[in-house]
A and B are shown apart, each in its own frame.
Chain A
Amino acid sequence: MSDHILEMRHITKTFPGVRALSDVNFAVRRGEIHCLVGENGAGKSTLMKILSGVYPHSEFEGSIIFNGREVRFNGIHDSEKAGIGIIYQELALVPEMTVFENIMLGHEIRRGIVVDQNQMIKKSEELLKRVRLSINPTMKVKDLGIGKQQLVEIAKALSRNVSLLILDEPTAALNEDDCDNLLNILRELKGQGVTCIMISHKLKEVLSIADTITVLRDGQTICTMDRKADNVNEQVLIKHMVGRSIENIYPPRESKPSDEVVLEVRDWNAYDATLGRKVLNNVNFRVHKGEIVGLAGLVGSGRTELARSLFGNPDGYHLQGEVYLKGQKCSFRHPKEAIRSGLAYASEDRKRNGLILIQSIQYNISLANLDGVSRNGIINEELDKQTANEFVKSLLIKTPGIHQLVMNLSGGNQQKVSVAKWLFVGPDLLIFDEPTRGIDVGAKYEIYTIMNQLVAKGMSILMISSELPEILGMSDRIYVVANGHITGELDARSATQEAVMQLATQY
C-alpha cells in the first residue's frame, strides 16, 4: 500500500432533484498530481466542494480521511486549517486591492494592533518567487493579466501552508503560454512536496502533467489510472468519460457556404476613452451566408472588443468605419438594435454577462426574445414554458426541469442554455465568443454539431476562440487578430497552427 494523503469513501450527495454523487471513492497519494476529469455535470466540482468543506459534513454521506485521520469539515475554514487549499474556477481576488494585500487577506501579519505592511510585502515576495512571478507586490490585482492573477491565487493558497492544493479548471481561461507556465509551477510545487488535485477539460494538459487520473461519470467513479503504468492516451480517456468513443472531435460538415455576404466590416476603428487607446485599427472582414468564420488571436488581442463594438457597442467606444449587415449599412447604438437586425452575440463569460444565474432556465432562454412568447407585452406563460422545454430536449440540457436555476447547472449545461437563448432569437449571424470554454469533450461535440446544423440552415457564425485546434477544425475561413489589427486571412483547409501563431504574434 502506498501512502495516501487523502481518501474519500462512499461519498453520496444529492441536491433537490439531482443526485450529484453516488458512492464515490477517491484516493490521492502523497506528493502526486492527481487529475480529475469527466463530463460537465459529472460531479467534479461537487466532490471538491465536499472536500473543502463548502458542503458541511451534515449535508452528504460518506467519510473523508485526511492524513490518516477521519475529518469533518463544517466550512472552508476547517479545511484550510487542516492544510487543504482550493482555487475555484472563478477567481476570488479583490481587484481593487494590491497583490500583497490579496495574498495575506484574512491572515494579515500584525504588530500590536496595526498591520505590518513591510513584513507582509516581504512574505509576499517570497511566495511570489515560489510561483515564479516577478511583479511588484504593491501593484493592484486588476492591473494584472488573468494568467498572473491565477498565479497570485496560488501564492495566496501557499501562504496558508497547504499540503494539498485543489485547482478547479485553472487553465480554462488562460492562453497557451500561461497554461504551460502554470503547469510548470505545479510540477515545481510537487517537487516541494505539495500534493495537487486538478480538474480540467483539456485532456492534452492532463496527459502531460498527471501522475494519476480519476474519471467521474454521472456522479460515479469510473476508474482511477496510473498515467505511465496504464499507458493512458486521449482516446482511452474520452471513452471512459463519455462512455463511448468519439471518432472525430470535429464532426464533418456537409453544407457549403454560399457567396452571399451577410456581414461586411470596412475600415473599422474603435477608441476606448477609459483606457485612452485604440482597441481596433482599420479592421476589414466579411462573413458569408452559411459560413463559419474563425477569429483567432491571443487573449487581449481585441477579438471580444471587435465583437462587442459590432453588437451595439455597450462599452461606448468611439467608432469609425462602416458595417453592412445583409447589404444594409447599419450603426447600432444598443445591443437591442443589433438583435433586431439579426445579429446575436453569445458572450465569452457566461456567468458574468451571459446568463442570469439566479433565474430559471425558462426565464433565461426567452430573455432576448420575449416578443416571441408574448402578445401586447403580456407573456404567454405556457408558450414560454413550452419553448424552454423544447430547447432542453433538443440541446440535451441535463436538468430536472426548466424551473431549475441556472446557477445550479454545471458549466456545459449553462453554455447550452446560453446557446438556446440565442437560437430562440433566430439571428442571421451569431458571434460566438469562446463557445466551448470549460466544456467537456462530449458537450463540445454536441455544440459543434449544433453549429454545423445551424450553418446548414443558412445561419452564419463568427467564432472567437483561443483554442487553435478548434479554430482549425471548425472554421471555413480564419482571420487572425493581433493588437487590434487583422493581421491575416487564412483558408482553414490549408492553415496550420504555426501559420496562425505567427500572424497572432505580429505586433
Chain B
Amino acid sequence: MSMSNPTLESLENEISEINFEQIKKKQRLKSFAKGMLFLLPSIVLFGAFLFYPLFKTIYLSFFLTNAQGETTVFVGLQNYIDMFASPVFQQSMKSTFLFVLYTVPTTVVIALFLAVLANEKLKGIGLFRTIFSSTMGISVAAASVFWLYMFHPSIGFLNKMLEIFGIDAIGWLTDPKWALLAVSATTIWMNLGFTFLILLGGLQSIDSYLYESADIDGASYFYKLRRITIPMLSPTLFFVITVTIINAFQTFGQIDILTQGGPQNTTNLIVYSIYREAFANYQFGTASAQSIVLFIIILVMTVLQFKLGERKVHYQ
C-alpha cells in the first residue's frame, strides 16, 4: 500500500496539470478550420451561381421591373397574388402536374421493364442494352426535331400509320386534347435511356448468389422479382424517381421546339411560362415569383419523397 500510494498521487497530479478541455477545444477549432478550407471552393461556387441568384430572385419577386430588369416599384406580395389569380398561371400549374403524372411513372415502369429484360444472360443482349440506352446520347434539340417530324400532320409517321388503318389524321401538336400527351411521349422516350441505364446498373449490382439460393429454395420468377429484385433495387429506384420528377418539373427544351406552350396554353409548363414572362413579356417580377413557386414545389416534393421513401427503401 505504502509503495503504490505515492505513485498514484503523482499520476493524479500529472493528470490535473493537463487541461483536457482546452486541448480538445483547440483540436476542434483546428479541424473546423481545416474543414472550412476544403469546403471553400464549393461554397464560393455555390454562393456565386446558386445562393446569390436565389436571393436576387426572391428580391425581384417583390418588385415591378422595367424592360431592362431594373426594379421600379415595390409591390410586396402583389406579384404572387396576381399570379395565383391568373387563369394562365393556373392552366400552367395544371399542365405541369399532369405532365409529371404522365411522364414519371411511365418512364420508370418502362425503364424497369426493359432493364429486367436486358439483365437476362442471353446471347446478343449487349445489342439490346445499347439500343435501350441509346436515347441518352441524343440531345434534347435533336430528339425534339426527330419527334417534330413524327408528329407532322401530313407527312408524319404517326399519321401515316393512322391513315393505313383508315383513321382520320390527328393534329398531335395542335390539338389541345393531344398536345400535352404528345410532349409527354417525347419526354418519356428521351428520358428512357438514362433511367434504363441507371436501373440496369442497379440490377447488375445485386449479388447472383441471392438468385441461386432462391432457385434452390424453389422460388418462381415473379416471386424472385417481388421479394429480391425490387427491394434490392429500391435505393436505385428511389434515386431515379427523384431525379425524374425534378427533371419533369424543369422541362423546357422540347416545349420550346415542339409547341411553344400552345395550343391554348395546354403545354405551357411552368419553366416555359417563366421564360415567356421574363423574356417575351419582360415581367421580371412575375417571372421571379413563378420561379420561387417552382423552387418551393420541387423542394416540398423532394422532402416529401425522402420522408416517405426512407421507410420503404432498403440501403445496404
Instruction: Say whether A associates with B.
Output: no
Interface set of A (CB-CB < 8 Å, partner B): none
Interface set of B (CB-CB < 8 Å, partner A): none
